[in-house]
Amino acid sequence: MNAIVDFLGGDIVVTAIVKTVVAFAALLLTTLIVVWAERKVIADMQARIGPNRWGPYGILQTLADGIKLFFKEDFRPRTADKWTFALAPVLAMVPSLLAFAIVPIGDHITIGDRRIDLIVADLNIGILYFLAMGSIGVYGVVLAGWASGSKYPLLGGIRASAQMISYEIALGLSLVPVVLAAGSLSTVDIVAAQAGSVSNVSFFNGVPVLEQIAELFSFVPNWYIWSQWPAFFIFLIAGIAETNRAPFDLPEAETELIAGFHTEYSGIRFALFFLGEYVHVVIISAMAVTLFFGGWGGPKPDFLPWIWPIGWFVFKTGLFVYLFVWLRATMPRLRYDRLMWLGWKRLIPASLVWIMVTAVVNTEGVSRNARLVVFGILFVIVLFWLGKGDPRLTGAVTPQRRRVHGPS
Amino acid sequence: MTTGPTVEPVDASEVARRAQHEAEESFGESEPRLDTEEMILNVGPQHPATHGVFRLLATIDGEKLIHAEPIIGYMHRGYEKLVEQRDYRQITNLVSRMDWLSGINNELPLALALEKLMEIEVPPRATYLRVAMAEMNRILNHLMFFASFGAELGAITPTFYAFREREDIQLALEMATGGRMHFGFFRPGGLKEDVPAGFFDQALKGVRQVIERLNQYEDLLIGNEIFKQRTIDVGVLEKEVAYSYGVSGPIARGSDIDFDVRKDDPYLSYEDFDFEVCSAPNGDCFDRFWVLVHEVAESAKIVEQAIEGMPSGPIMGKVPRVVQAPKGEVYVRTENPLGELGMYLISDGDRTPYRLKIRTPSYSNVSALSHVLKDTYVSDMIAILGSFFFVLGDIDR
């Protein structure tokens, strides 16, 4: 055993390989379950039954779909660009998978005398890496639209490039305040910075009555959702737009562009796009949890102490995935120009202002979280007011005209 | 508007733009400029937003729609000629297939025309049942468009709710007629047969459910901010334009044309019932949809009243064994769910009509599309197509 480990390059390499394989398998399995869960949940919301043939509650449906797609004919249009056409689905899928490397899914486990952190790679530039992977993923969609040699995919590709590039900026900017607050780009450090309770963090230190009141809230964890919630909402909106899901599913837009950028894709290549989208959903959810909801943090009973963080992480991520599904069941699709308006005129300025607010408040040190909460409320009121100022957003409902009796 | 498939849409402004573009090129600009050109996009005949084989030849510049030309005729089945070879009882089933979402409403004007020509007295029970069934069919039709409009804007859930509501009413009609789409229930002189026991209960259950739940569905779609953004001030059909194209039904009422055949030229016994004509002033997608949704509630009210005041008695007037219209001509118009449906029947005393000219609502309504679609976005195009509530069979027949 030791000989093999030494041959492979020692402990570190072996742990890395094991972690990678386990993470990869777990992510794929999660995706299968997420696809099935989405169909079940949406079916429930729409007064339907959903998949129920394969396995208990139809849980094997996704697997059956995958197998079907695998054996389907891999069709390529004559006008398509051969290599780019083949490259695009891989580019859409692989970066989403890779981005998972920096998500800490738990604390650490100890096997023998080895301490194994439950993260594939704790990069000191983790956030940057996450953004980079998201940006590469855009290429997959854009190239797919371009390489198909067909008109509807081209339109989808154009929409995708415009949408994803502009929302990429908002996404990146929304992470800056979190990094400022945590003082680190590493996801592990960011999770560590959210440990503890809100009342421990100099909220109302020295103020006699408020101090005792703050003490009552000691059960509330010190997550960034409290002090950074404007950043959270910007992150969430931009993140949904990044994944191309409703209400930002313009590049796909079934009823407008047939299937948008992947109209010409079938078989396993379509499956890669499909998988890429759902992996992306999981990643964005996991990042939202990591950055704003304390990652794997949560109550840790004595029984099996290493499994609770993982459980908390999965639970929180699951809630976010549910939110994605819920949105899809509720929202109509935004229009192209409205999408651009929201991205460039609201989200990007909002995140820039919020970065400045965070930076200024952070330099003062004492009771900064309290200040941030106050600023956050003010900030969102201003945003709301700005939004209401747009006459097209207020859109007054049509006055009713009804005629009751007789010919006109 | 029905042109061959190869016609290039040429627009004066487009020609001017191209000329200007070429002129700029030939003078040799100092700065290199991006060479752009318009793309011609075939929306349909197979496209999810066209509800069938409707084709739109669109000239687009990026996301902007410069010109769009509706092309119809892919589903022409020659009904107007076909009915000249069939006797009157067979025609009932033919016209029912024109607008397949409102079969029973299509049979109605034919029955009315024959009754007028043959001077048949229709017993009151038959008239009341006809009103109830026509209005139930109108609810079915409108709920279908409620469903599809939401789906076209990307909201998938209302579709399933609408279909759930449809089901109870669908069941009631199935009990009486045995059909779910093509009922073949209205005969000249009355109905095929009396409704079975339990029909009224089922129908009342269906429409009361619709009345009860309609508000929730309205909130789900009409109250949605994104929905408002995508429909308000989008695809405005001005009142004058609507008049000039002969637009009718919910689309015309959405453009402030307060006209409803049921009120303005009552047939059957519509003057007995208390209902309102909904209309809206702006003529955009939102107003058309708003009218459509509110008409559902009005129809449901009519069904309730008709069933509560249902007279007893025979359901068939005195009709000769052989349905044979005397020589003459008659024009009957009714309020189809999608607009005014007119039938001009000329009889030379035979068992078949000499000529039956059918004025279908969808045909006139989609002719206004080209005007409305000018200078919109591709996404707007879908919203406009969805809000024009047309049925392909009704356009082409």
What are the chain A neighbours of B222 within 8 Å (beta carbons)? 397
Q: Which residue has the higher pLDDT, B313 or B49?
A: B313
pLDDT score at B71: 86
- Flag whether pLDDT at B7 surpasses 70: no
- Flag whether pLDDT at B2 surpasses 50: no
Ordered alpha helix ranges (H), A228-367: 229-242, 254-257, 267-292, 307-330, 336-340, 348-364
Contact of B205 with B211, CB cutoff 8 Å: no
**Is A256 touching B (CB cutoff 8 A)?**
yes
- Flag whether pLDDT at B22 surpasses 80: no
State the CB neighbour count (10 A cutoff) for residue B58. 22
pLDDT score at A53: 85
Distance, in Å, from the CA atom of B38 to the CA atom of B102, rounded to the nearest integer, reads 40
pLDDT score at A194: 79
Inter-chain CB proximity A402 and B276 less than 8 Å: yes
pLDDT score at B1: 43
Q: How far is B80 from chain A (nearest CA, A)?
A: 32
> How does pLDDT run across B60-70, given as a tens digit for each residue?
887 788 888 88
Q: Averaged over B244-254, what is the pLDDT?
A: 88
Q: Which of B261, B395, B275, B248 is nearest to B334 (CA)?
A: B261
pLDDT-derived band at A206, boundaries 50, 70, 90 = low
B64-71 vs B55-61, strand pairing mode: antiparallel
Cβ neighbours of residue B69 under 8 Å, at least 6 residues apart? Answer: B1, B3, B7, B9, B56, B57, B58, B370
Sequence letter at residue B291: V
**Is B157 touching A (CB cutoff 8 A)?**
yes
Inter-chain CB proximity B280 and A400 less than 8 Å: yes
Cβ neighbours of residue A232 under 8 Å, at least 6 residues apart? Answer: A174, A224, A225, A288, A291, A292
**Is B64 touching A (CB cutoff 8 A)?**
no
For B363-392, b where at least 16 C-beta lie within 10 A, e where not — what string? Answer: bbbbbbbbbbbeebbbbbbbbbbbbbbbbb
Inter-chain CB proximity B154 and A253 less than 8 Å: yes
Q: Averaged over A43-65, what is the pLDDT?
A: 86
Q: Three-state SS for B336?
A: strand
Distance, in Å, from the CA atom of A260 to the CA atom of A164, rounded to the nearest integer, reads 14
Ordered alpha helix ranges (H), A265-306: 267-292
pLDDT score at A139: 86
- In chain A, which residue's Cα lies nearest the Cα of B276? A404
- Flag whether pLDDT at A8 surpasses 70: no
Q: Averaged over A268-281, what is the pLDDT?
A: 87
Distance, in Å, from the CA atom of B342 to the CA atom of A48, rounded to the nearest integer, reads 39
Inter-chain CB proximity B279 and A403 less than 8 Å: yes
Q: Averaged over B322-351, what is the pLDDT?
A: 87
Q: Averaged over A15-31, what is the pLDDT?
A: 86
> How does pLDDT run across B42-57, given as a tens digit for each residue?
887 877 777 778 888 8
Q: Which of A65, A383, A119 is nearest to A229 (CA)?
A: A383
Contact of A274 with A78, CB cutoff 8 Å: no
- Flag whether pLDDT at A278 surpasses 80: yes
Percentage of residues in chain B having pLDDT higher than 70: 92
Percentage of residues in chain A having pLDDT higher than 70: 81
The full 3-state SS of B145-208, as one line of letters, equals HHHHHHHHCCCCHHHHHHHHHHHHHHHHHHHHHCCCCCCCCEECCEECCCCCCCHHHHHHHHHH
- Flag whether pLDDT at A407 surpasses 60: no
Counting one residue from chain A and one from chain B, the pairs whose CB atoms sit within 8 A come to 136
**Is B193 touching A (CB cutoff 8 A)?**
no
Weakest mean pLDDT among A311-325, B194-208, B312-326, B357-371: B312-326
- Flag whether pLDDT at A253 surpasses 60: yes
pLDDT-derived band at B18, boundaries 50, 70, 90 = low
Ordered alpha helix ranges (H), A82-228: 82-99, 126-147, 151-182, 187-193, 208-216, 224-227
- Flag whether pLDDT at A392 surpasses 60: no
- Flag whether pLDDT at A62 surpasses 70: yes
Distance, in Å, from the CA atom of B386 to the CA atom of B221, rounded to the nearest integer, reads 14
- Flag whether pLDDT at A388 surpasses 60: no
Determine phi and psi for B310, rounding to 5 degrees: -65, 115
For residue A116, the cross-strand partners are A109
Contact of A239 with A56, CB cutoff 8 Å: no
Inter-chain CB proximity A393 and B229 less than 8 Å: yes
Contact of B301 with B151, CB cutoff 8 Å: no
pLDDT-derived band at B260, boundaries 50, 70, 90 = confident
Q: Three-state SS for A339?
A: helix
Q: Averaged over B368-393, what is the pLDDT?
A: 84
Determine phi and psi for B377, rounding to 5 degrees: -100, 165
**Helices A267-292, A61-71: crossing angle, 10 deg rounding:** 140
Inter-chain CB proximity B290 and A398 less than 8 Å: yes
Q: What angle do CA B340, B341, B343 make, to 5 degrees?
A: 140
Q: Averaged over A151-177, what is the pLDDT?
A: 85
**Is B59 touching A (CB cutoff 8 A)?**
no
- Flag whether pLDDT at A395 surpasses 60: no
Cα B321 from chain centroid (whole Å): 34
Query: How much is the ipTM here?
Result: 0.76
Q: Which residue has the higher pLDDT, A397 or B107?
A: B107
Q: Look up residue A236 and give its two tokens.
A: 């969430």
pLDDT score at A230: 82
Which sign does the torsion angle of CA A109, A111, A116, A118 carry?
A: negative
> What structural domains and CATH numbers belong to chain B?
78-365 (1.10.645.10)
- Flag whether pLDDT at A401 surpasses 70: no
**Is A395 touching B (CB cutoff 8 A)?**
yes
- Flag whether pLDDT at A186 surpasses 70: yes
> How does pLDDT run across B344-361, given as a tens digit for each residue?
989 888 888 888 888 888
**Is B225 touching A (CB cutoff 8 A)?**
yes
Q: Of A118-132, A209-223, A242-256, A394-408, where does the model show the most confidence?
A: A118-132
pTM for this one?
A: 0.81
**Is B63 touching A (CB cutoff 8 A)?**
yes
Q: How far is A152 from chain B (nearest CA, A)?
A: 8
> How does pLDDT run across B269-306, given as a tens digit for each residue?
888 888 888 888 888 888 888 888 888 888 888 898 88
Which sign does the torsion angle of CA B107, B162, A262, A337 carry?
A: positive
B64-71 vs B355-359, strand pairing mode: unpaired
- Flag whether pLDDT at A208 surpasses 60: yes
Inter-chain CB proximity B380 and A401 less than 8 Å: no
A114-117 vs A108-111, strand pairing mode: antiparallel
Q: Which of A280, A278, A276 is nearest to A288 (CA)?
A: A280
Determine phi and psi for A40, rounding to 5 degrees: -70, -45
pLDDT-derived band at B320, boundaries 50, 70, 90 = confident
Contact of B183 with B104, CB cutoff 8 Å: yes
